[in-house]
Structure 1
Amino acid sequence: MEASWQYTGAEPVKIKKFLQSLGMGHRLFNDIKKGEGEFLVDHRPVRPTTKILPNQPLTIRVKPEPVDPTVAVSHDPLQVVYEDDNWLVIDKSAGVTSIPGPGVANGTILNRVTGYLIDQQSPDQRPHLITRLDRDTGGLLLVAKHHMASSMISQQVQQHQMVKEYTALVSGHFTADHGTIDQPIARVAGQVRRVVADDGQQALTEYWVEDQGDDWARVRVRLHTGRTHQIRVHFAAIGHPLLGDALYGGDTSRVDHQLLHASHLAFLDPFSRRQLSFTSPLPAVFNEIMA
């Protein structure tokens, strides 16, 4: 894999500092430094400590990643919303798991993307899931097609700079059109579920009420942190569990899984320096219940 950027600063800068300003993580820089790739300035190989002059191009080359032998290969279908040399944006159906785990060794998004890259004869065949969704949550997932892309977006992930919005159908009625839920979330020993607890990790959820019926509300939700089950836990904690969410006390009389959909995803592409934005339509079950 190879990528290039033009340095537009006014003063000379070290390669590491420039790459960090673009978003590169420490691990990839160190891997290249140890021989897993090379740095080129003006198309000539240079040492990692080299300074780049204004208007000089920097290129990095990284060795391709082969298939991970521990990940089964699946050729099950994928709904690809967007693809370029670095990224895949997938629209996942509810009921499909993101990554292999206990009881699910194949057929996950990771297995399918691995098969997809093999079918394309991509030089890099070890995808990296940047975002993940619960099995019964559908919608948009971002996948890095190689570890350079995974590293270049790591700062946006760690600093919660990616825009991730969800649509949820929850029970009850709201009196305000906008709100935030700022409550820490903790694990429950020996269980999958999480709870709001004083000793938990800080978690912040923002929401907008977009439509309401007699016993339901459609809310647009933006995550400002990324805790497991965050939306499900937070709305249950304020008395508005998601419809279909048996784990957190939601009404299951009309649907057998939580009505949560990753409807919007946006991020700054560290390669093109363009903002990329994607939207996924709601599954039919949402409209059926609202009707």
Structure 2
Amino acid sequence: MKQFKPFQLTYSAKEPGVLREALSGWGISKRTLASVKYSGGQILVNGNEVTVRHVLKKDDAVTVIFPNEELGEGLIAETGPLNIVYEDQALLIVDKPPLQNTIPSREHPSGSLANIVAMHFKENEIPATLHIATRLDRDTSGLVCIAKNRHIHHMLSMQQQGKTMVRRYDALVHGKFAEKKFKITEPIGRKDSSIIEREVREDGQFAETEVEVLQEFDTFSYVQLQLNTGRTHQIRVHLSHIGHPLLGDDLYGGKRDDIPRQALHCKSLELIHPVSGDELSFTSPLNKDMDEMIHVKR
């Protein structure tokens, strides 16, 4: 089997101290350390392999060599269109069309974004599995962020928790609004009668969505939303809760008279690159069906 060059990162010790503590400060999680230790990775200090108990000196060069990852056996690599917005050794940002699963499901076992990305990794000899940091529902179109290894995924998750990753969505929703800019802060949990549906409930997880009305039409509004948390179905549940469900979202009270899918699009994504520290910003144009509705109604 061909051996691919593993992903690695090098850090400089700013002060003396135990290596384990320095690694934690650089965002290396305990789970990642375990994979390095038991799955073929290495930790080097000034080119020499050491354990996490090693005592660092100021300016020591610490290199973490992460073990190569393999795609899960259940994920079949499939050929298909893939709209790549950005790619480097750590990240893959793609623009997902509507009516495509992010990952395979029982109802749609093939043709998902994950299936196609798996083929992209295979064809380009990228020794990685899929770590999808910003999953979208099947109906939702727009930007999806994928990490190429466990450590990068952890770093992106930390950004989401710290709100340094910003996702904005465009949506078409039923009705008009009294306020043009506001926040919805309501806890979300699973509905007792369903394994799929979520609802606003007192014992749910904290969830916050910012809403700005961009345009209003006779029966619907064009809004921009910013997720400050990442709960399942958050936008759909919050909008339905305040009486303005997404057009096409019949699971949460929307009607499909004008559009056959939930009218939701991940328009922009801002994040800090987990390796370089650079600020990255990406945008995606509205899908044709939503764009035509806005222009026809003007």
Q: TM-score, normalised by structure 1?
A: 0.93
| Letter in structure 2 aligned against 1:96 | Q
Structure 1 equivalent of residue 282 of structure 2: 278
| Letter in structure 1 aligned against 2:9 | S
Which of 161, 166, 170 does residue 169 from structure 2 map onto?
Answer: 166
| Letter in structure 2 aligned against 1:109 | L
Quote the offset at 1:84 in angstroms.
0.3
What pairs with 1:1-291 in structure 2 (closer than 5 Å)?
1-7=6-12, 9=14, 11-34=15-38, 36-122=40-126, 124-188=127-191, 189-291=193-295
| Letter in structure 2 aligned against 1:270 | P
Give the match's secondary structure for 1:85.
coil
| Letter in structure 2 aligned against 1:130 | A
Judge conservation of contact 1:2–1:59 (CA < 8 Å) in 2. no
| Letter in structure 2 aligned against 1:176 | E
Judge conservation of contact 1:163–1:222 (CA < 8 Å) in 2. yes
Quote the offset at 1:80 in angstroms.
0.5
Q: TM-score, normalised by structure 2?
A: 0.90
Quote the offset at 1:191 in angstroms.
4.2
- CA shift in 2, pair 1:277/1:53, >3 Å: farther
| Letter in structure 2 aligned against 1:238 | I
Give the match's secondary structure for 1:231.
helix
Quote the offset at 1:64 in angstroms.
1.0
Judge conservation of contact 2:39–2:67 (CA < 8 Å) in 1. no
Judge conservation of contact 1:140–1:265 (CA < 8 Å) in 2. yes
Quote the offset at 1:229 in angstroms.
0.8
Quote the offset at 1:125 in angstroms.
3.7
Separation (CA, whole Å) in 2 of partners of 1:57 and 1:30: 21
| Letter in structure 2 aligned against 1:4 | L
Quote the offset at 1:35 in angstroms.
5.4
- CA shift in 2, pair 1:279/1:259, >3 Å: same
Structure 1 equivalent of residue 3 of structure 2: none
What per-residue deviation string (whole Å, max 9, x for no partner) do you get for residues 117-144 of structure 1?
001122x142211110000001111111
Quote the offset at 1:260 in angstroms.
0.4
Separation (CA, whole Å) in 1 of partners of 2:157 and 2:57: 26
Quote the offset at 1:172 in angstroms.
1.3
Separation (CA, whole Å) in 2 of partners of 1:26 and 1:6: 17
Show structure 2 runs of 5+ residues with no match.
1-5
Residues 63-72 or 157-166, more deviating: 157-166
Identity percentage over the alignment?
35
